[in-house]
Amino acid sequence: MSLHDDIQSHINDLQKLLNETTEPALIKKARELWEKEDYRFKVLKQFVASSGDRFAKQADPPKDIKPDNNEPENKAVK
């Protein structure tokens, strides 16, 4: 592909993104368009795959953090 074709392809992708009305839809569409070409996705997938079961479950919350008693509790606003 020539540089002109690459730029035109990128402009077409950006025009497709302009049709999205919400941020989650915009992010999803960008991932659909660029996932195959964006090496950040490949690196992340390789990292997760090489980490085994490390990311298979949610992390446990830290045990050494205690709530601050000076903070007011969450109460309904009247």
**Does a structural domain hold residue 75?**
no
Over pLDDT 70: what percentage of the chain? Answer: 55
Counting the structural domains of the chain, the total is: 1
Q: What is the DSSP string of 27-56?
A: HHHHHHHHTTT-HHHHHHHHHHHHTGGGGT
Predicted confidence at residue 27, as pLDDT, reads 74
**Does a structural domain hold residue 62?**
no
Residue 25 to residue 19: CA distance in whole angstroms:
10
Predicted confidence at residue 70, as pLDDT, reads 60
Rounded to two decimals, the pTM is 0.40
Per-residue pLDDT tens digits for 55-69: 566 667 667 666 556
One-letter identity of residue 52: G
Predicted confidence at residue 38, as pLDDT, reads 66
Q: What is the domain extent for residue 39?
A: 3-53
Contact 30, 14 (CB under 8 A): no
